[in-house]
Structure 1
Amino acid sequence: MSTSTVDRPSADVPTAAAGVVAVVAHRKKVLGGGLDELRTTLVSAGVGKLLWYEVPKSRKAPKKVRKALDKGAELILVWGGDGMVQRCADKLAGSAVPMGILPAGTANLFASNLGIPADLPEAVRIALHGRRRKLDLGRLNGEHFAVMAGAGFDGDLIRDADRKLKGRLGRVAYVWTGLRHVRGECVRTRIRVDGADWFDGEASCVLFGNVGTITGGIPAFDDARPDDGALEIGVSTASGAVDWARTLGRMAGGRSEDSPFLRMTRGRKVRVRFAAPKTYELDGGARSTAKRLKVKVVPGALTVCCPDPTH
């Protein structure tokens, strides 16, 4: 598997000094000395005008992002995990306002794939002074995602994963929780990629990846990059305890391509039809059920503050 940190200078855009800075924070998330330290750090860094918004749940974040944009925010700092990042990215998609990620969540997969550490002073430094990169987002049934989306087994896994278990065991928790869902049946699934038939058969899970390391810290997609104008697409035919134990074990060990129950490709537009409604998820947040999925990549949709390239 390739490393999770990505470097691609051609995707850079010039770094601009931030004027009005907005913080959109999930108040239940913790990083370093917490939100008090964040405010102190920003004031000490010379931020002149600071807009401050706290929310109790990530689904309330988009309204705060909209308010910050209306008040002239030139940089939006997102405090939280992948759920907060996804909700804010969905609102920021297509705008020129950059997002700085302060990874205060459990997994922080988007941040870790970009090399942004769970270290408050360094994350703030990157947000204020790091290079700005235009990165791709995926879009599923009208909503953007930054890391991955999935339906079927994956959606059920996300919906039922216990937060305390996830926080304590990380990717092992997902394997543990996932094996409880081996009774989830395969359903007839038809997938078209960029206008051509790609898969037609029984499947238990469909995944769409924008980066290499996905839910549970599993390195699922070898060559995924969030700046290549494409999404990674995977379908699983695993259908029992033994099949899923082998599949999840190989994915967790970084050998997903070796599994006989996985098929993968790459594309820009995907259409999926299930014979029965399946739960789908975006960036670790379960949504509703659907029989049809419309998925596409949105190239350069989000500007993100990233570390400088290593030499």
Structure 2
Amino acid sequence: MERSNRPVPKVAVLIVNAHSRKGEALCSAAKQKLEAAGITLTAAHAVKDPGKLDAIVAGAVRSGAPMVVIGGGDGSLARLVRHVAGTDCVFAVLPLGTANSFARTLALPLDLDGAVETIAAGQLRRIDLGRIEDHYFVNAAALGLSPMIGDTVPHKLKRYLGRFGYLGWAIWCLTRFRPFRLTVEDAKGEHRTWASEVRIFNGRFHGGVELIETTDVDSGDLVIQAVTGRSLWRLAFDWYAKVVRLKSRSANTIEFRGRELRLRTRPRQKISIDGECLARTPVTIRVAQAAVDVVVPSAPSMA
């Protein structure tokens, strides 16, 4: 883990996506708990219109906020981190989404009290970001079944049933999905295969499940993981094997690693970036190394 030498700031702006599954209910509690833990909040925003989040975060960074505390799901974090990337502003996370994959990658507590304690007593970690065209992602992007699920799942299903509702919708989408031809260009050349899902990893988690163990958010590169073949049962088994951590959990996937990778499909596929469909193949995927400081739990003392 690449630690930052800076201390965690004690002054911040709190910005909560109140449209996320838990956001509206927890915004007021988060403000009270952060202030009680010694964090001075110069402003606190409960944003019910997600379209206003970008302007609020960008404004906080421009105003010189030492830290922004973002409450929301993976989609909100991926969309908003670009305003912090390359600046001195620290990015702190309150995991209020359904899967909270980014929080899991950083080993953050998923409960509000634990997340607040981490912000108040944690340390900084300098991490990479993935980049697809003009879009950053903190954790993972995907094409195939995942974008189909993310693009069509009813918001109320996620809001009220959480991961169980998401799983049910995924099974419904699986019966209607078709595999595609995949071409990946890396430093070794072109690689072609049939695929049912492709995951592009900066971190280790996707959909709340650890799907890869060979990379991390400060590894300096990205990994493309493809579920190969034309059988959708292979895709279903791949998810099952990774959820229950079977020894054979990597049997149906191949991986490509690099700082810059080119990806094409036939037919063209939508790309879900941390849960939101923002791009479409063909694309070039790059790593933005050491792009942002995030707050993570303090390492145990070696004394």
TM range (shorter): 0.7 to 0.9
Question: Residue 122 of structure 1 aligns with which residue?
Answer: 114
Contact 1:58/1:87 (<8 A) preserved: no
Question: Residue 299 of structure 1 aligns with which residue?
Answer: 289
Q: Which runs of 5+ in 2 are unaligned?
A: none
Question: Residue 248 of structure 1 aligns with which residue?
Answer: 239
1:88 CA drift (Å): 1.7
Contact 2:198/2:224 (<8 A) preserved: yes
Contact 2:141/2:271 (<8 A) preserved: yes
Where in structure 2 are the equivalents of 1:265-284 lying within 5 Å? 265-284=256-275
Where in structure 2 are the equivalents of 1:1-311 lying within 5 Å? 8=1, 10-19=2-11, 21-29=12-20, 30=22, 34-48=26-40, 50-166=42-158, 168=161, 170=163, 173-174=166-167, 177-178=170-171, 180-193=173-186, 195-215=187-207, 217-255=208-246, 258-288=249-279, 290-311=280-301
- Name the TM-score, length of structure 2 as normaliser: 0.87
Percentage identity across paired residues of the two chains:
23
Q: Distance in 1 between matches of 2:8 and 2:253?
A: 43
1:134 CA drift (Å): 0.7
1:63-96: CA deviation from partner (whole Å, max 9, x where unpaired): 1111111222111000111122112212211112
Q: Distance in 2 between matches of 1:47 and 1:172?
A: 35
Query: Does the residue aligned with 1:184 lie in a helix, a strand or coil?
Result: coil
Contact 1:210/1:226 (<8 A) preserved: yes
1:198 CA drift (Å): 4.5
Q: Which runs of 5+ in 1 are unaligned?
A: 1-7
Contact 1:31/1:118 (<8 A) preserved: no
Q: Distance in 1 between matches of 2:9 and 2:257?
A: 37
Name the count of aligned residue pairs. 299
The residue identity in structure 2 corresponding to 1:275 is: R
The residue identity in structure 2 corresponding to 1:268 is: R
- Name the TM-score, length of structure 1 as normaliser: 0.85
Q: Distance in 2 between matches of 1:16 and 1:211?
A: 22
Contact 2:223/2:256 (<8 A) preserved: yes
Contact 2:264/2:282 (<8 A) preserved: yes
Q: Distance in 1 between matches of 2:9 and 2:240?
A: 45
Q: Distance in 1 between matches of 2:110 and 2:249?
A: 32
Contact 1:218/1:254 (<8 A) preserved: no
Q: 1:284 to 1:138 in 2, by over 3 A?
A: same
Q: 1:17 to 1:260 in 2, by over 3 A?
A: closer
Q: Which moves more between the two structures, 170-179 or 52-61? A: 170-179
1:266 CA drift (Å): 2.2
Contact 2:24/2:46 (<8 A) preserved: no
Q: Distance in 1 between matches of 2:171 and 2:229?
A: 12
Give the superposed CA RMSD.
Answer: 2.6
The residue identity in structure 2 corresponding to 1:76 is: V
Q: Distance in 1 between matches of 2:242 and 2:155?
A: 21
The residue identity in structure 2 corresponding to 1:291 is: T
Q: Distance in 2 between matches of 1:28 and 1:121?
A: 20
